[in-house]
Amino acid sequence: MRKLNRRQRLLLGLAFSAAFLIIVCVWGILGAEAARATDFSRKNIPPCLQYPFGTDWLGRDMLARTVKGLSMSILIGITAAAVSAVIALLLGIASATMGRAVDSVVSFVIDLIMGVPHILLLILISVALGKGLKGVIIGVAVTHWPSLARLIRAEVLQLKEMPYIKIAVKLGKSRWHIAVKHMLPHLLPQFIVGLVLLFPHAILHESSITFLGFGLSTEQPAIGIVLSEAMKYLATGKWWLALFPGLFLVITVALFYILGQSLRKLLDPGSVHQ
Amino acid sequence: MDEKRVKCGAGSEDRMDSPAVNKLSGEKEPVLKIEHMSISFTQYDRGMRQVSLPVIRDLDVEVHAGEMVAVVGSSGSGKSLLAHGVMGVLPYNAAMDGRITYCGEELTRERIEKLRGREIVLVPQSIAFLNPLMKIGPQICKGDKRASAREKLRSIFKRYELDERVGNLYPFELSGGMNRRVLISTALMEEPKLVIADEPTPGLDLAVAKRAMAHFRELADMGAGVLVITHDLELALEVADRIAVFYAGATVEEAPVQDFQDEDSLRHPYTKALWRAMPQHGFHYIEGAQPYVKDLPAGCSFAPRCPQCGPECAREIAYRAVRGGKVRCVRGK
Amino acid sequence: MNRQRVIFFGKNIIRALLLVVCVSMITFALMKASPVDPLQANVGQAALGSMSQEQKEKLQAYWGVDTPPVEQYLSWAKDFIRGDMGVSLLYRQPVASVIAVKLANSLFLMALAWVISGILGFALGVISGMNRGKPADHVIRGYCLVISSTPVFWLALLLLMIFGVWLHIFPIGLSVPIGVEASGVTLADRLYHAFLPALTLSITGVSNIALHTREKMIDIMESDYMLFARMRGEKGWRLFRYYGFRNVLFPAVTLQFASISEIFGGSVLVEQVFSYPGLGQAAVSAGLGSDMPLLMAVTIVSALFVFGGNLTANLLYGVIDPRVRQGGKAK
């Protein structure tokens, strides 16, 4: 096979990551029953051919639980990140276009949110909303938008100064026309990349807050729950309970990162030189 | 090192020529000789395809000891890459081909890494090329704190009439008038045999630009070979010994400055056009623009704008010697 | 020029104070919004018995239904500034003394991790940036990708599993040996117990600073002044020492001060896994047990540290960079 050039390698990585993530999600949704099925005749089996990830103290198949947990975490993470990205888009554009007052208010709010460690803020929000799924999603959505909002703000500010935009304004084009015809094509790739790069963060925070016991109940086996249960059995030597779900969580998050970074490199006009 | 310096420097063991007599005599090895230099970049075209962009296609130039040669080409034509190529600091996605000889020996990667900053120095075009967080003095001395370095710095400052306090300033604190002199000071810390000046007069007013050029002339008169890369033909004519004209990635003519006194003694139609474009010769401008490297015509790259263009111009054109100069044109004589 | 600097410092300090006040207000509002009523959840039980009359009244004043929220906040804030942070419902002690103990434990841990991750991350970032595209760069970037994809708590679990459960080298939890008087705890004991948590935090803290430093280093390597330095024959260590170091150090130090928030967040998770009795663990127990006074105090203390870090970063920038220092015309 001939050597692939950089772009082709990127595209390959992108396709692979996307495929893996989609498979995990679909499998997790379809395999909900298997993740919950208890069977005391197969308790505490270390990893073997039949149960590659082993089984737990209730005889549940850890592979099924891992996949189910991951798919839940991915879906929750994506939902929260998407909400967050919309907030970022609105506030980013608002602070770039609606004058100095709005700009300083938004930047103050950003500083405020960055001022409390994310996990602590998630705990606060979760307590305020009485724990549960809602708290997790809102918490992650509220804490993750600042970096993307800053990016969009900077981008819009830069675009506003571009000669071709200024000329369009002088030519009397409507704001709508300028926004859609001239700004959107530049903003959209940035926004999509920013959105995708929010996913891994959101998933990590979702799993962390769930791990601490603020998120979902034990009937909803998100990956954080699976791992926090595993921690209780750590001292008894059941290493597989924590190892495999965690490892797959790492892989999932890493693939999201790769997905986002490949997208960025493909969409970045400067990448023609590499 | 001193021995070697004499060999390819101003004179050989039997004769001590004055530098001015030296030029183009062909007997001595030039300090720098560039033959068929090409520099290209790989880029992505549309989608997944990679293409190669030749920014410099065929560049030939020679610099002798004690001589000042100017490579003249319009702004943005990739002349600076010539300097980067010689100094061995091209970006990683650039590929260079051709042959560079320094004092008769090929200038390999290892060799330039040893020589640059010592025998071969470059004077950059602006203070953006100085470390913003290092004071001028230590920067010129490259951090050398020995007494000898400090002594040398003092003498250089004296030479260029710079106050000693300038050494304690950061680059952003320099005034416009000092910039040029500070930059050229960097070249004098060592005893260079070859000085390359990359666009030494960017946007300067005439008086300052003339003074900057004069400083380089001085270096040549001291025995170094000086290669000036510039867009300013008029200024180059005032100080240089020879001019190499650069057009669309290639040198099209090399001529002694005297030839520029008269249009007829020039060899290439582009040089003649440049000549006519000078204010004292009527300010005639040439129609058209330099072609972009991606869509160069086959054969002569000036053909689309040339008044004497004929069918023979579509072939590969050789760079040949004519009347003590060189030309890349089938009609040049 | 000096006046400019005073204004610059003053502006930053005022902004930081304003932010802390806002954080306290928002936290208070969030706590008020919680469906769990702390008086009913905690005080209705044994807690009430152990409280003095005065404490009960205060609790009533903060959380009671009969006073308007703004008044509640003001009375809480007044006490807080005086150093009376209320009584922890879980620990049955004044919040101030709970925080003092936990903070001391946490600070020790976080300071260790902060310094180690800062130095290590800076070094890795520089190596990576200077060797862009070479094997060292690939390895360091790979490491950073894996680390930033790894949840802190899982890394903690993993290390606990390997060193605590499996190899029995390090203790499974707590900041000091059990059953030893506070005065009998040596520095060695503390280091021994803080080692795994600090290791976890250091490992995870590295990736952010390393990646950031790498980007800066690449920018610097591609800068005109680096190009010129190379053309003057500089290379290797000298190139870094004279042309790269100062330029890349400033942003790295600034970032490290500005990233205190992350190390605080990480410590919450790490302390939970290692049962290390620090501020983070207190936050988790307070959240789970609806101990509002403690949770609020933890939040505000963390915010103080984060804003303190940001403030230091801003001020440092003004002090270190000559371009800002002399005339404030930074880019």
- CB-based contact B131 C243, cutoff 8 Å: yes
Cβ distance of A273 and B41 shorter than 8 Å: yes
By CA distance, what is A116's nearest residue in C?
Answer: C303
Name the residue of chain B whose CA is nearest to A269's CA: B44
Decide yes or no: CATH 3.40.920.10 for domain C95-330.
Answer: no
Helix (H, G, I), strand (E, B) or coil at B54: strand
- Contact residues, chain A to chain C, C-beta under 8 Å: 108, 111-112, 114-120, 123-130, 200, 204, 207-208, 211-214, 227, 230-231, 234-235, 237, 239, 242-243, 246, 249-251, 253-254, 257-258
C229 touches chain B (CB under 8 A): yes
Q: What is the pLDDT of residue B21?
A: 42
Closest residue in chain A to residue C308, using alpha carbons only: A115
Among A124, A126, A201, A240, pick the best mutation site for testing chain C contact (most C Cβ within 10 A).
Answer: A124
Alpha-carbon distance values, C243 to A184, B28, B167, C124 (Å): 40, 39, 17, 18
From the list B114, B122, B133, which residue is nearest C231 (CB)?
A: B122
Contact C321 B130 (CB under 8 A): no
Partners of A272 on chain B (C-beta within 8 Å) are 43-44
Q: Do C306 and A119 touch (CB under 8 A)?
A: no
The residues in C 80-109 lying below 8 A from B, measured between CB atoms, are none
Q: Which residues contact A95 (CB under 8 A, 6 or more apart)?
A: A102, A103, A105, A106, A107, A149, A153
Q: Given this model, what pLDDT does residue C182 score?
A: 54
**Interface test with chain A among C153, C155, C291, by most A beta carbons within 10 Å:** C153
Going by pLDDT thresholds of 50, 70 and 90, the confidence category of residue C151 is very high
Encoded tokens for B124: 């950059």
Q: Tell me: the pLDDT tens digits for C51-94?
A: 666 766 666 666 666 667 788 888 888 888 888 887 787 787 88
Alpha carbons within 13 angstroms on the beta-carbon side of residue B74 total 12
**Highest mean pLDDT: which of A30-39, B68-77, C49-58, C120-129?**
C120-129
| A267 and A189 Cβ atoms separated by less than 8 Å | yes
Distance CA C23, CA C295 (A): 13
Q: Which chain A residues have a beta carbon less than 8 Å from that of C15?
A: 111
CB contact under 8 A, C241 and B143: yes
Residue of C nearest to B188 (CA): C232
Q: Report the pLDDT value the prediction gives residue B24, as an integer from 0 to 100.
A: 47
Query: 3-class secondary structure for C168-233?
Result: CCCCCCCCCCCCCCHHHCCHHHHHHHHHHHHHHHHHHHHHHHHHHHHHHHHHHHCCHHHHHHHHCC
Both tokens of C100, joined, read 């003092």
The per-residue pLDDT for range A49-103, each reduced to its tens digit, is 777 777 777 778 888 888 888 888 898 999 999 999 999 999 998 888 888 899 9
| CA B288 to mean position of chain CA atoms | 26
The pLDDT of C25-54, averaged and rounded, is 68
Are A246 and C157 an interchain contact pair (Cβ–Cβ within 8 Å)? yes
Lowest-confidence region among A162-166, B245-249, C316-320: C316-320
Listed in sequence order, the residues at least 6 apart from B59 whose beta carbon sits closer than 8 Å to its beta carbon are B34, B36, B37, B38, B82, B98, B246, B249, B250, B251
Q: A172 to chain C, minimum CA–CA distance in Å? A: 33
- CA of A233 to nearest chain B CA: how many angstroms apart? 51
Angle between helices A99-115 and A146-160 (to 10 degrees): 150
C36 touches chain A (CB under 8 A): yes
Those chains having 3 or more beta-carbon pairs within 8 angstroms of chain C are A, B
DSSP three-state, residue B123: strand
Average pLDDT in chain A: 84
Q: Residues with Cβ < 8 Å from A59, sequence gap 6 or more?
A: A38, A39, A40, A41, A42, A43, A44
**B93: closest chain A residue by CA:** A274
**Closest chain C CA to residue A201:** C149
Tell me the pLDDT band of C269, cut-offs 50, 70 and 90: very high
Task: Could you list the beta-strand ranges (E) of chain C.
Answer: 87-88, 93-94
Which chains have at least 3 CB atom pairs separated by less than 8 Å from chain A? B, C
pLDDT of chain B, 333 residues: tens digit per residue:
344 443 454 433 333 444 444 444 445 788 899 988 989 888 776 666 777 888 888 888 989 988 999 999 887 677 888 888 898 888 878 888 988 988 888 888 888 888 888 889 998 888 889 888 888 888 888 888 888 888 888 888 888 888 888 888 888 888 877 888 888 888 888 888 899 988 887 777 788 788 888 888 988 888 889 999 988 888 888 889 999 998 888 888 898 988 888 888 888 888 888 888 888 887 877 777 787 777 777 788 888 888 888 888 888 888 888 888 888 888 877
Give yes or no for B168 touching C (CB within 8 A).
Answer: no
**Cα separation, C269 vs C156, whole angstroms:** 8
B51 vs B73: CA distance, rounded Å: 25
- The contacts of residue B178 (CB under 8 Å, 6+ apart) are B162, B166
* Residue with the larger pLDDT of the pair A234 and C135: C135
Rounded CA-CA distance A101/A94 in Å is 10
- Inter-chain touch C243–B134, beta carbons under 8 Å: yes
Sign of CA dihedral B259, B263, B266, B272: positive
CA distance A188 to chain B (A): 19
Interchain contact C134–B (C-beta under 8 A): no
Q: What's the mean pLDDT when you consider all of chain C?
A: 82
Q: Would you call A246 and C262 a contact, using CB atoms and an 8 Å cutoff?
A: no
Residue B183: is it exposed, middle or buried by C-beta count within 10 angstroms (0-12/13-18/19+)? buried
pLDDT at C185: 61
Contacts of B255 (CB under 8 A, 6+ apart): B242, B243, B245, B265, B266, B267, B271, B325, B326
Q: Are B43 and A11 a contacting pair at CB < 8 A? A: no
Q: Nearest-CA distance from C249 to chain A in Å?
A: 23
Rounded to 5°, the CA angle B3-B5-B10 comes to 120
Distance CA C85, CA B198 (A): 67
Say if the Cβ atoms of B124 and C321 lie within 8 Å: no
Judge whether residue A199 has pLDDT over 60. yes
Nearest alpha-carbon partner for B309 in B270, B271, B276: B270
Smallest CA–CA separation between C48 and chain A, in Å?
22
C152-159 vs A240-267: helix axis angle to the nearest 10? 140
* ipTM score of complex: 0.86
Domain locations in chain C as residue ranges: 2-81, 95-330
Q: How far apart are CA B286 and CA C287, in angstroms?
A: 78
Nearest to C146 among A115, A243, A250 (CB): A250
CA distance C313 to C148: 23
Distance CA B156, CA B184 (A): 10
Cβ distance C157 to A204 less than 8 Å, yes or no, reads no
Six-digit token string for C194: 């803080």
Out of A120, A234, A243, closest to residue C283 by CB: A120
CB pairs under 8 A between A and B: 16
Whether the predicted model's global pTM rises above the 0.80 cut? yes
Partner-chain contact B44 A272, CB within 8 Å:
yes
C119 has pLDDT over 90: yes
The chains in contact with chain B, meaning 3 or more Cβ pairs closer than 8 Å, are A, C
Buried b (16+ CB within 10 A) or exposed e, A62-95: bbbbbbbbbbbbbbbbbbbbebbbebbbebbbbb
Q: Which residues of chain A have a CB within 8 Å of the CB of B50? A: 5
